[in-house]
Structure 1
Amino acid sequence: MKSRNIFERDRAGEEITHQDEGYYKIRERIDEVQKILFELNGNYHTDEEIRNLFSQLTGCVVDPTFRIRLPFYTDFGKNIKIGKNVFVNHGCTFMDRGGIILEDDVLIGPKVNLITINHPLTPRKRHATVSKPIVVKRNAWIATGATVVPGVTIGENAVVAAGAVVTKDVLANTVVAGVPARVIKTIDDTGDKRF
């Protein structure tokens, strides 16, 4: 049986340390991303140029309907998947080593943090990392300054209120708020059908 490389182990949620064989490849990727981010955030670009740079960052061509306001921050880039008609507002941080999927029609407010990486609680292991994916389903909206932690799925049409810290999955058609986030209302999906 072939052993998994460092990227496969990281995406599978295994504990990763600086001493692991191949860790230097993660470090090289992070350095590569910083160069792209410097160009993306450091100069004026047209929407098409931004999409081209973002495609370089993720390694996948993003749809022409994708819009983003800069600056934008990420640690890895290659594990971000973006659907159609997605909008990401300024000042967001996507730490994506565990994988981030934004399905079609997702709205991400300013200064939102999608964090897929964590550390073990045990003090002697605290410098290790463990990654888990974040999935934001179709037509969900994450409002200003919210933080979503590793392993969380935000359901279709859900809303995460400004400043919320989401530590558990959010059901479809619900609004969550607070720290930690909890359901404060459900959404009646019988109204406006713009999407």
Structure 2
Amino acid sequence: MKQKYNWYSPRDKALAQRRRRAKRIVENINATAQDKFGERKAQFESLFGTTGKGFYIESPFHCDYGDNIRLGDNFYANTGCVILDAAAVTFGKNCMLGPQVGIYTATHPLDAELRAQGLEASLPITIGDDVWIGGNATLLAGVSLGNRVVVGAGSVVTKSFGDDVVIAGNPAKIMKKNSI
């Protein structure tokens, strides 16, 4: 089922102000030594909508707004993680992201005239519990991953998947069922 987009202008002053706030915090985080756990944790907590217990994010990290990101307990993101959070990005507990993972809620129109107007849309991304996303994987706007999903390195996830699957490829497809 196709989702309906609500087009908006990212040039909106309120949105631009939120992005500037996030950029300042992210620049401070990325400039803070990795071994200053408490300082980095406090900065991430001021940036994100919610954080669970026991999260760690390697530098460099990038996001658009930050306040649309919700972390479950025991979250880990390796170096180079990019979360374009124009819409909500929700992680369950025990999620791990490999290096250079991209999570993109924003999308742009296929129609050249709309694109020329600078319009974009966003759809939320939801990631279940116990999910492992391999390095250089990309999740696109509107996808949901169930619990205990493994995403192979380099995959491009363009649609949603349920629980207990290993997915890989471009576009990602089910490689096998994950049985416990």
Q: Is the 8 A contact 2:69 2:89 kept in 1?
A: yes
Find the partner of 2:40 among 50, 54, 65: 50
Query: How far off is 1:69 after superposition?
Result: 1.1
Q: How large is the RMSD of aligned CA atoms in angstroms?
A: 1.5
The one-letter amino acid of 2:76's match is: F
In the alignment, is the contact (CA less than 8 A) between 1:13 and 1:98 conserved in 2?
no
Q: CA deviation at 1:155?
A: 1.0
Deviation at 1:64, TM superposition (A): 3.7
**10, 13, 16: which one pairs with 2:8?**
16
Q: Percent identity?
A: 30
> Which contiguous aligned blocks of 4+ residues in structure 1 show a shift greater than 6 angstroms?
none
Q: 1:178 aligns with which of 169, 174, 177?
A: 169
Which of 145, 162, 168 matches 1:154? 145
Deviation (angstroms), 1:59: 4.3
Offset at residue 18 of structure 1 (A): 5.2
TM-score (norm 2): 0.92
Distance change (3 Å), C-alpha of 1:183 and 1:59: closer
Distance 1:188 1:70, change over 3 A: same
40 and 148 in structure 1: CA distance in 2 versus 1, 3 angstrom threshold: same
Which residue, out of 94, 97, 112, partners 1:108?
97
CA–CA distance in structure 1, aligned partners of residues 75 and 10 of structure 2:
35
Contact 2:137/2:155 (<8 A) preserved: yes
Alignment of 1:93-132 (within 5 A): 93-126=82-115, 127-132=118-123
Q: Gaps spanning 5+ residues in structure 1: where?
A: 1-11, 190-195
Query: What secondary structure is seen at the aligned counterpart in 1 of 2:18?
Result: helix
| TM-score with structure 1 setting the length | 0.85
Q: Distance in 2 between matches of 1:96 and 1:63?
A: 18
Aligned partners of 1:170, 1:47: CA distance in 2, in Å?
A: 34
Gaps of 5+ in 2: none
Residues of 2 paired with 1:52 and 1:178: CA distance? Answer: 37
Residue 163 of structure 1 corresponds to: 154
